[in-house]
Amino acid sequence: MIHMRARRLLGDYLEGDLDLARRARVDAHLAECEECAREVRELRQTVSMLRGLPVEAPPALADAVMARIAAGEARPSRWVRATRHFGESGGGWALAAGFAALLIVVTLEPVPLGDPRGDFSMPVQVGSPVVVRVQPAASQSVPGRYGSARHTAAFAGAAAPAAVGALDDEVERLLRARDPESLVLLMTNPSRGQRTALRRGDARAERRLHSADETR
């Protein structure tokens, strides 16, 4: 077997994913190629090291979580409750897909100038609003501009609930942190949990938002 071809098969070889004929050819190559044989030995040893890592959960993890739930910490925020219907019905998602963007403006408590949390590329205005920009399934109405059809389909399908959960968490985190560094949340590919938390004043972020506005 040609050396480079054998090397490409080593991953599947190690996992036992090769058919018998190809496995036999790789075995024959390993018998005569010390470089590949060493690669296999080292990768096996690497996996062995990974599997040797001990893990045990902290004994009080479940108790701690249940105590926090009892204290009301798992209660959805008003933002989540307001948007919950999007995740509970296909109709909700279809409606959401009809909009090019959903703009939510939340006013936060004033943030003191010179707040040490993070480095701001522009001064943050006292009492400035936080803008959370969500773009659910926009490609249905504007094909090819916000994402591919595949993304849109996935967003409306089974992957959506967890992705929305992740978005909720991100928005809640931003709101809880009152972090003026992450004022703008642009969600471009919700189905895969990809989102971009962008800071206001970041030139690249502003360009992306501008571009989104123009295409809408």
Partner 1 sequence: MVETTLAAPRRAEARGPSPRHLDPDADLVTRWQEGEEEAFEALIRRHERRVFGLLWRMLGCREEAEDVAQEAFLSLHRHGHRFRGEARFSTFVYRVAANAALNRRRTLGRRRARERELAERQAAGTDLPSAPRSAEAAAAGSEVQTEVQRALQELPHDLRVATVLYDIEGVPYGEIARVLGIPEGTVKSRIHRARKALRDRLRPLMGAEHRSSEP
CB of 191 to partner 1, least distance (A): 7
Instruction: Report if residue 192 touches partner 1, rule: CB under 8 A.
Output: yes
Give yes or no for a contact between 40 and 10, defined as CB atoms under 8 angstroms apart. yes
What is d(CA 137, CA 105) in angstroms, rounded to the nearest whole number?
20
Helix H or strand E encompassing 207: helix 203-215
Q: Using the rule CB under 8 A, is 204 a contact of partner 1?
A: no
Q: Decide whether 196 or 216 has the Cβ nearer to partner 1.
A: 196
Binding marks (x or -) toward partner 1, 129..148, rule CB under 8 A?
A: --------------------
Decide if residue 22 touches partner 1 (CB under 8 A): no
Q: Is 10 exposed, middle or buried (0-12, 13-18, 19+ CB in 10 A)?
A: middle
Among 3, 32, 82, 84, binds partner 1 (CB under 8 A): 84
Quote the least distance from Cβ 213 to partner 1, whole Å.
26
- The distance of closest approach from Cβ of residue 2 to partner 1 in the complex, given in angstroms and rounded to an integer, is 19
Name the CA radius of gyration of the chain, rounded: 25
Short-list 150, 153, 154, 140, CA closest to 193: 154
Stretch 152-191: interaction string toward partner 1, x if CB under 8 A: --x---xx-xx-xxx-xxx--x-----------------x
CB of 202 to partner 1, least distance (A): 14
What is the C-alpha separation between 27 and 211, in angstroms, rounded?
Answer: 55
Query: Does 150 engage in binding with partner 1 (CB under 8 A)?
Result: no
Cβ(184)–Cβ(133) under 8 Å?
yes
Q: Does 88 bind partner 1 (CB under 8 A)?
A: yes
In the region spanning residues 41 to 70, those forming contacts with partner 1, defined by CB under 8 A, are 41-47, 49-58, 61-62, 64-66, 68-69
Handedness of CA 157, 158, 159, 161 (dihedral sign): positive
Joined together, the tokens standing for residue 133 give 């920009």
CA pair distance 179, 109, nearest whole angstrom:
11
Residues that bind partner 1 (CB under 8 A): 10-17, 23, 27, 30, 38, 41-47, 49-58, 61-62, 64-66, 68-69, 73-76, 80, 84, 87-88, 118, 154, 158-159, 161-162, 164-166, 168-170, 173, 191-193, 197
